[in-house]
Structure 1
Amino acid sequence: MFGDKIDNVDASKIKEVFKDLITTYTNPAYGSISKRDFDIFLFMKLQELGLIEKDPEIYDVISNLRVTRTKARNLLYEVKMRNSSEEILDQELRLLLSKPIFFETNDKIAIEISNPLLADHLRWKLKKLGYITDSSFSAELIKMTENAYIAIFEDMIPNKSREKVKAALIKCGAKHDTGIKDILLAVIKKLATLMIGKVGGELVEVGVEYLGPILGGKINEISKQYEGFFEQKTESE
């Protein structure tokens, strides 16, 4: 399973992890830790050694550990729950929101999330905003309406940056007599049309360079990235 990878790990690091495993298994008494807790602890140590990535795809866990999909999801969920604060989850969510997947045939937008805890975090935030998601096609592909995506997108822009973001986009050509929600919707619709037109597929993932600056409130990057953006013509225009 990990033969080649283990050979490349520093011996002192392996010794340190082995000591942690023995200490945990024998404290306060030999075998007193539950199998579930020890499985989670061992999984975290495999990540510490670099044998499993910090943010692995579920299939990587399944193939490396020879476990079921349910077991892999549970391990990822438990580990993330122990290591992630709401602030960390929000940071990860901003990155994923900056890479939406557009569908050619309908107005749904999808976010691909391999971290089950982060998926629940997104659903929780959307529910608070009055929206529900659809993951019937795939547990890792969460679909939502354009309005739901815009709502969570706006919610994740830092409060102190929203007016500056709006002003920067207006300066780049967005309509000045609308609110930030309408401006964001115009950006998303334009991106969807431009990207699907270029790729010509049924769905396409947008690069983080377009939406990342908006979510991060990076005004200079917005000005550079969206210069001339609103003047671009699409096939439908």
Structure 2
Amino acid sequence: MFVDRIDGIDAKEVKRVFKELITAYMNPAYGSMSKRDFDILLFMKLQDLKIIEKDPDLYDIVSNLKVTRAKARNLLYEAKMRNSSEEMLNKELRELLSTPIFFKENDKIAIEISNPLLSDHLRWKLKRLGYITDGSFSAELIKLSEEAYITIFEDMIPNESRKKITEALVKCGAREELGFKGILSSILKKLSGRIVGRAGDELVDGIFKYLDPLISGKLKEISSVYKDFFVEP
């Protein structure tokens, strides 16, 4: 059972978390905390004990806590809001932008996000940049146009780093006149053609290998990974 996971946790750790739970519940007085706030607090303490993961799949919360999907999303949203800074959200967003999902139709690109707060963070950034998102298919799957994806990808890289990244790609054979956005567009088109027939971890790793060095500004990795990338067969 779900609660049996407590048996495998060090007693000192359980005692520490339980003390924190009681201390928070007693502030400012016993019974003053609302049920909603207590539910959120307890959820966060279950995460502290690793009974629930920090970035769980929503279905894991639904099945283990016996709550609705809406309740699970709300618990995760509130927990993330209390524990996440904008810097942390941006770091997580960079990781997700490194593993996009390509669609054959209409040049659509999707980002799968289980963290509802991060989903709102992405939508806010895109709206600020002048783009809207499509989440009609699934709340966890956000569809973007290729232009919107490239724009948010570029926005996550500081200007000075972007210049160095572009120079590194040009040294590897990319066309300088295209600029960063144009080069990234050509990279995405080439990657989408390469992933046909791949699945699972192989698919994710194949995309991450090329996009993570760009959004993270890893110049040495760019020089290595893109060495023969732009060479026409």
Cross-structure match for 1:22? 22
What CA deviation, in whole Å up to 9, does each residue of 1:62-119 have, x standing for no partner? 1111110000000111111111111110000000000000012330000000000000
Cross-structure match for 2:75? 75
Normalising by structure 1, report the TM-score: 0.93
Cross-structure match for 1:58? 58
Runs of 4 or more, structure 1, over 4 Å off, are none
- Contact 1:108–1:146 (Cα < 8 Å) also in 2: yes
Cross-structure match for 1:186? 186
Letter in 2 for 1:49: L
Verify: 1:89 aligned to 2:78, yes or no: no
1:112, 1:59 → 2: CA distance?
A: 15
Shift, 1:12, TM fit: 1.0
- What is the Cα-based RMSD across aligned positions, in Å? 1.6
Shift, 1:172, TM fit: 1.0
What CA deviation, in whole Å up to 9, does each residue of 1:120-141 have, x standing for no partner? 0000101111111101111000
2:223, 2:53 → 1: CA distance?
A: 35
Shift, 1:232, TM fit: 4.9
Shift, 1:200, TM fit: 8.7
Higher mean C-alpha deviation, range 24-33 or range 150-159: 24-33
SS of residue matched to 1:229: coil
What CA deviation, in whole Å up to 9, does each residue of 1:137-179 have, x standing for no partner? 1100000000000000000112221111001111111112221
What CA deviation, in whole Å up to 9, does each residue of 1:15-45 have, x standing for no partner? 1112222222222221101111111111110
Superposed, 1:6-45 pairs within 5 Å as: 6-45=6-45
Cross-structure match for 2:176? 176
- Contact 1:165–1:217 (Cα < 8 Å) also in 2: yes
Letter in 2 for 1:148: A
1:23, 1:90 → 2: CA distance?
A: 32
Q: 5+ unaligned residues in a row in structure 1: which ranges?
A: none
- Structure with bigger helix share is 2
Verify: 1:99 aligned to 2:99, yes or no: yes
Shift, 1:212, TM fit: 0.3
Q: 5+ unaligned residues in a row in structure 2: which ranges?
A: none
Cross-structure match for 1:115? 115
Normalising by structure 2, report the TM-score: 0.94
Bigger relative contact order, structure 1 or 2 (CA pairs below 8 A, ≥6 apart): 1
Count, aligned residues: 230
